[in-house]
Structure 1
Amino acid sequence: MRVLVLWADDASPNLGVRALGSGTAELVKRVWPDAEVTFQNYGRRVPQLPIGRVRSLVKERVLGRAGMQKWLAGFDLVIDTRSGDSFADIYGTRRLVVMSTVAEFATQAGVPVVLGPQTIGPFDSRSGRAIGRHSLRRSALVMARDSASAGQAGELGRAPDVLTTDVVFALPRPDVPRTRDVVFNISGLLWYANPHVDSVAYRDTVTRLYRSLAGDDRRVTLLAHVLDSDNPDSDIAAIREFSSTVAPDAEIVFPTGLDDVRETVASAEVVIGSRMHACLNALSVGTPAIPLAYSRKFSPLLSDLGWTHTVDLRTSDDPVAAALGELASPTLRADAAALVERAHATLAVAEDALREVA
């Protein structure tokens, strides 16, 4: 069994993308233990698949000089992750078109394409909706990771076959002692100018939150979840600046990889995170997490799992007070344990659906 996983991998500097890739591979291995999994992503290209531009893909489809269709036909199954949240037009239509074109050409190569557990939508443009509708119609199996995504898919004429959750819950749980108190993930994406939240307000929020925690004698560890790369929104630069100006005495963890970051969050009493997968990594190992949400991908996924301890940076009048209020909740740890049970049960539905496809 040869499985191609699109738009995720196990070596990305974004540890959320690594969690997506490794979690998808783990899901595959649960169904087909001897499966050979190949990753294809922007930072992990093969010469047969010219993913830089739509024009290059179409040219290769017509001329076939690089052997793209033959290469795609060599797989028994394609799982299209869309990087977890890119099956939408919020990042522009170019990204959506490239990803959708690769999926279409895989289908034309005779390989079933599964839309793996992911956020679907939003599609705010007419062209985005048309592309989304086509991709949904052509998929052999559609899996949404939250009910809002299921609704988006239904509006485009193809209700998902499976409503499940994020594949991070398929990853093994590390066994480490709880040696840390509060692990605080600060996002480089939000630290600098961005289309999601006001970066000045974000800096003020995380600064006031850190000082409140320190004033309450909480031991705070600063955690990066997107590592150094060509991508300007690396968490490392933001944390270095935050440490030098606000938190010179705080422990800093720049993880070496996915296993390291999961061991770090497993060692904490609680995680406060601006990256969704920093929070999901924590919750999947049983550590309570308080997300500082900046987009719609957070709340539906977590609410479906019964997790209500989320602070929305876009709508909260006082996100610091809200986060401290959630931190004081007496049910945090019990709620986290219940969430893990629900996540494992709903992910089993995805396993059963995969067995029927290939």
Structure 2
Amino acid sequence: MTKDNYTIGLYGIAGVYNYGCEAIIRGTEMIIHKKWPDAHIKYASSRPDDDKKRLDGCNVEIVPRKLFPRSSIPGINRMLATVTGLHLKTPYREDLDWLKGCDMIFSIGGDLYTLHPHHKDHKIKRYYNPLIHFGDIVKSKGMPLVIWGASVGPFEGWPKTKKYFIKHLQEVDLITSREHITTNYLKGNGLNNVIECADPAYLVPSPKIKENSNEKITIGINLSPLSSFFSFQPEQKNEIIEKQAKIIELLIKKFNANIILIPHVVCTFNENDDDLHYLKHVKSKISENLRNNVDLITDDIGFIKTKEVLSECDVVIAARMHCAINSLASGIPTIFLAYSQKAFGMAEYVYGNTNMVIPLNEFMNSEKTINLIEYIIEKDINKFINKRMVNIKNEAYIPLNYIENLF
């Protein structure tokens, strides 16, 4: 197929209330339209009205994802798949009429091809993942399928699940891996449809980058309920929040620092995914005599305006992957708080090593956290980051020639 006005569909994310998902959409639109300025991009959204407001200025068509009722045949098929792992290849649980006219589909989301922290292979039923079911349908329609800007796996320890994922991943036309660990894992499992490139979120520009004019060091901190869920038991939640508040107090005292608590997901309909709700709880546990040193971003400001806040910081500590990416793209030294392998992979991709990673369950280790911040201040690594960002932003465009060959 040779033309310039391709139609590319984007599918996978739950909504751009997650600022990282907003950045994926914005960065992907920039990449596609650099190569094909007349391309039509459809983003299938579960929250079309909200997403339209949040994606203002982004040249994509937002089409609604419509879930069929439970009593319908697709709904029954969905329940059958969830309960037993068995299902008809069609119909899918959603109305896929929007696929008509698409020349290619990008499966987007960053880490949707990974596993729940408490996942187990069921002794009886087969594993089922609706995203893989969707991908199978796309392939059955003869459309190229690209897994876009992803961290994938690992699936070791779950042989049924691994077999299920690997089979699908082998049938995908292209997987663009955003970090080394995923690349090596997939190639080590025999996949030859993998290339490595930068996460599209690195490309999103900021209309205004501020510099910190405060004599005090400013430390931006992003903590999330999702990362705590992955790292700790549910009954530990309050205990962990109190410990996280204590390490923030220590950072204030050690560095005479100002702290900015920065949400990167604002999810009013699910507090278990809402950074703002979580960070309010953290701030409430900080001693009153130190609370004046702590600012909390309470407005729902989106990815681009959050970049402005991050640019005011001297150091950022981030649990959310795309908060870390947002900060790094602004030239700010960033520490990854790891709750999965993807943080180690991204740190290695950016820094060349994993020295800038603290496992979330070690964040409360004051000595380790303080030593790393002291290292950042002493070494003045901003120049390295800014130079690295030039290369990374160029690497975001690597997939274009591969994609062109798929049409």
TM-score computed with the length of structure 1 as normaliser: 0.86
* 1:220-265 Cα shifts (integer Å, max 9, x gaps): 1111111033222311112112222216322111342122112211
Q: Distance in 2 between matches of 1:67 and 1:268?
A: 45
1:283 counterpart residue number: 328
SS at match of 1:291: strand
Over aligned residues, Cα RMSD in angstroms? 3.1
1:197 counterpart residue number: 232
**Structure 1 residues 235 and 277: alpha-carbon distance in aligned structure 2, compared to 1, 3 A threshold:** same
Q: Distance in 2 between matches of 1:87 and 1:234?
A: 22
SS at match of 2:10: strand
Question: What's the CA shift for 1:102?
Answer: 0.6
Q: Distance in 2 between matches of 1:167 and 1:202?
A: 33
| 8 Å Cα contact 2:335-2:358 kept in structure 1 | no
Listed as ranges, the gaps of 5+ residues in structure 2 are 1-5, 49-62, 82-86
Structure 1 window deviating more from structure 2 (124-133 vs 89-98): it is 89-98
* Higher radius of gyration, 1 or 2: 2
| 8 Å Cα contact 2:178-2:346 kept in structure 1 | yes
**2:152 paired residue among 120, 124, 135:** 120
Q: Distance in 1 between matches of 2:93 and 2:207?
A: 46
* 1:158-180 Cα shifts (integer Å, max 9, x gaps): 13431112111121244322137
Alignment of 1:165-204 (within 5 A): 165-179=198-212, 181-190=218-227, 194-197=229-232, 199=237, 202-204=240-242
AA aligned opposite 1:46 = P
* 1:266-306 Cα shifts (integer Å, max 9, x gaps): 23222111212111110012111112211111011220222
| 8 Å Cα contact 2:173-2:193 kept in structure 1 | no
**Structure 1 residues 67 and 209: alpha-carbon distance in aligned structure 2, compared to 1, 3 A threshold:** closer
Q: How many residues align?
A: 353
Q: Distance in 1 between matches of 2:41 and 2:104?
A: 10
Alignment of 1:29-68 (within 5 A): 29-44=33-48, 46=64, 50=68, 55-56=77-78, 62=90, 68=96
AA aligned opposite 1:186 = L
Question: What's the CA shift for 1:113?
Answer: 0.6
Alignment of 1:206-355 (within 5 A): 206-215=244-253, 216-231=255-270, 232-246=272-286, 248-249=291-292, 250-254=294-298, 255-306=300-351, 308-313=354-359, 316=362, 319-329=365-375, 330-355=379-404
SS at match of 1:277: helix
Alignment of 1:14-163 (within 5 A): 14-44=18-48, 46=64, 50=68, 55-56=77-78, 62=90, 68=96, 71-81=98-108, 83-90=109-116, 92=119, 97-124=129-156, 125-163=158-196
AA aligned opposite 2:400 = E
| 8 Å Cα contact 2:311-2:327 kept in structure 1 | yes
| Sequence identity (%) | 18
Q: Distance in 2 between matches of 1:294 and 1:65?
A: 31
SS at match of 1:348: coil
SS at match of 1:312: strand
| 8 Å Cα contact 1:60-1:66 kept in structure 2 | no
2:54 counterpart residue number: none
SS at match of 2:149: strand
SS at match of 2:341: coil
